[in-house]
Every structure is written in C-alpha cells, then in structure tokens.
Amino acid sequence: MGKSGFVPDNTSIKKTSGTPNLFFDTKDYILHSRDDENVIYSVTSTQIPAMVGGAFADVYFTKGHIREPHWHPNAWELDVVISGEAQISIVDPNTNKLHTYIAKHGQVVFIPMAWWHWIIAKSEKLHMHLFFNNDQFESAEGSNMLRLTPPEVFQLAYSVDANKIADALAPIKEEVAIGPPTPVTQQPFIPNTNRVKPKEVSKQNRKKEEIAININGKNFKI
C-alpha cells in the first residue's frame, strides 16, 4: 500500500525538481474490464505521482451490467453521470436503510467512505466519472466476501442451509467487479407479492366460535 490521501497540499512537487509529470491518458490503465464496452479506467498517484490526495475513474457500461456491490474503506466517492442513465444504490449503515437514485447527465451522487453501494446501467450505454478523495483508494468487493466466506459460516450466522448457499455461490470463482461475468441464463428474480400475510392466514384458519344460551329449556346458538 502506497502513501495515500487526505493530504491538504501537494508534497510531491518541489521547486528544485522542475515541473512534474502532469499528463496521463486514462485509457492507458484499466482498473476493471469485462469487455471493450464494460470497462473502468483509473488515474491515481501511481500514474501521476504529483496527484496526492485524490483519484479518478472513467467508467463505461452497457445496459444489464453492474458495478458489483462493494465499499471503499479509505475514501468517499463522487459519481458524475456524463451520458446515459445510472441506478446508484447505497446502504446507510447508520440508519440501516437502502437509498436508490436514478442519475442522468450532469447529476451527481455522493457515497460516504465505507458505505456499501453498487451501480447499474439503466440505459443502452452509460458513461460516468468517479472521483475519490484518496490517491490510492481501496475497494472491498462483494464477490470476494461471498466466495471466501465458508458456507457453514453463513449457516451458523443466519440459519441458512450451508449446502444450498454453497451451490448458489459456486459460480463465483473469482472477483467479479463488473457483472454479470457470463450471460445471464437463470430466470430473473420476481418478488412474490401473492404471499398471504400472517394475519390473513390466522384469519382464514380461525374456527368459528358458537355461543349457546338456554331460554326456558331450549338452546339457541348465536
């Protein structure tokens, strides 16, 4: 891990060393790539040593692709939509609420440091610029958390079947970053809105109560 972020001044520029390298072509460094149309380029202090305290990513997605759920443990992120439409979702760890934003050209979404988030391309093509306040920002990818956690741990923690979890996660054999890694062949997930609510179940199964009263030797049910 190199020297990184939160530096108020550019300590790598010295008057006696002349003008430092101030130019770099983002296309010369690929951070993540699924194919030619789904790729993330980046510029950090590795490419421009004088760029202390910040980093940049140039993002290109096509519809149906996603920047997988992840978080940055050492940087906040500012997402700027250049063209197309993005769905950006963020989990607030303070309120335990999910926030989803649909952002178009010129709109921005801010993601605080270490907040779980993901980006989905909603238009045929999506182009975004991402800014980070750390010149060596780090990412913790959801795919790594899932594939490296033993299935029995999920069973112990959440009372889910370890065998079913193992089968479900078996296709994740490496870091995904940009998904899906292969064409989606499984049926799309459709939330079940026809489930009977617990109160409705109890009401349906409730037995009718009969009350009998005796008036002058005769029984009347009410």
Does 147 fall in a domain?
A: no
Does 211 fall in a domain?
A: no
Looking at residue 1, what is its pLDDT?
A: 37
Q: Can you give the pTM of this predicted structure?
A: 0.78
Does 195 fall in a domain?
A: no
Above 60 in pLDDT, residue 50? yes
C-alpha span between 37 and 105 (Å, rounded): 19
Does 214 fall in a domain?
A: no
> Per the structure block, which two tokens stand in for 144?
């790594």
3-state secondary structure (DSSP) of residue 26:
helix
Q: Of 6-20, 44-58, 119-133, which range is least confident? A: 6-20
> Per the structure block, which two tokens stand in for 54?
């910040």
Residue labelled with tokens 């801010």? 110
> Per the structure block, which two tokens stand in for 71?
């978080």
> Per the structure block, which two tokens stand in for 129?
């610029």
Does 98 fall in a domain?
A: yes
Looking at residue 102, what is its pLDDT?
A: 98
Structure confidence by residue, pLDDT tens digits, 195-204: 444 444 344 4
C-alpha span between 30 and 12 (Å, rounded): 24
C-alpha span between 146 and 93 (Å, rounded): 19
Q: Residue 154 phi/psi, 5° resolution? A: -60, -40
| DSSP run (H or E) holding 32 | strand 30-35
Domain boundaries, position 94: 29-139
Q: Is the peptide bond before 20 cis (omega within 30 degrees of 0)?
A: no
Does 105 fall in a domain?
A: yes
Q: Residue 156 phi/psi, 5° resolution? A: -65, -40
Does 170 fall in a domain?
A: no
At 129, which CATH number?
2.60.120.10
Does 160 fall in a domain?
A: no
**Model confidence at 177, in pLDDT bands (50, 70, 90)?**
very high
DSSP string of 139-188, one letter each residue? -EEHHHHHHHS-HHHHHHHH---HHHHHHHHTT--S--SEE-SS---SPP
Q: Residue 185 phi/psi, 5° resolution? A: -110, -20
Q: How many domains does the chain have?
A: 1
Taken as a whole, the chain contains a residue count of 222
C-alpha span between 6 and 133 (Å, rounded): 7
Looking at residue 39, what is its pLDDT?
A: 98
